[in-house]
Structure 1
């Protein structure tokens, strides 16, 4: 399950991607449009700014803008930034691998074998779905697991 913070981050990025002509959006505008608590949104946008996804502009025409195109920002990238590793088990993480404490053998672990397929399918979807996909009726293809 993704955190509320990650969900709000994705919604804020989608709002910025929809901004007319790439014009900056004020925190208050995004918060109202997306029904995100303003104080929480401030923290999220600051985090996204530090990670190079958005920039802020001061002044009369100020606000937040995307630093990358919506096609370059994947759901997986954002989830990993906000929530950390995406894998269902620590032994399947690509960024924070850790052997499971109770595991005798990763090669023989039947639980790991099933969740490895889940992790792969999840990553395939999350790293192919972009913020641009939220802008139209296009939706990433649904991955069907065989078996």
Structure 2
């Protein structure tokens, strides 16, 4: 599971809207404040809008606004809204056909560990709210 550049930009977009405190921001204002290339942001905003994280209004008085409480959605939710969440390894995808596992009575210790790691990662990302990401100091 990687945080892609697109997910990173989505987090920055959300940060800009969070800091705007319910005020609308244009795509240009978001890009300028968060150092994001403008050609990516509208596509990312549309994805977040489809998941009811932000609202987009077009036109002269348009812009974006954060509509979901940052306590109520997680880093995993943002990742899922932007990209199909990628597995740690292809072998952890349901239905993946692994010749090694098939040869060894469906057993592979590496696969088993990767499944556990993926589960832990998903739990961690799902339990980490966007509010925590934006506001809570990181533990060193």
Give the shorter-chain TM-score range: 0.7 to 0.9
Matched, 1:35 2:32: no
Q: Which residue of 2 aligns with 1:82?
A: 82
CA RMSD of aligned residues (A): 2.3
Give me the whole-angstrom Cα distance separating, in 1, the residues matched to 2:133 and 2:83: 20
Give me the whole-angstrom Cα distance separating, in 1, the residues matched to 2:105 and 2:78: 29
Give me the whole-angstrom Cα distance separating, in 2, the residues matched to 1:14 and 1:35: 12
Q: Which residue of 1 aligns with 2:72?
A: 72
C-alpha distance 106-69 of structure 1, shift in aligned 2 (>3 A): farther
> What TM-score do you get using the length of structure 1 for normalisation?
0.79
| Alignment gaps of 5+ in structure 1 | 143-147
Residue aligned with 1:42, SS: helix
> What TM-score do you get using the length of structure 2 for normalisation?
0.82
Q: 1:11, CA displacement in angstroms? A: 1.3
Q: Which residue of 2 aligns with 1:10?
A: 11
Q: 1:136, CA displacement in angstroms? A: 1.9
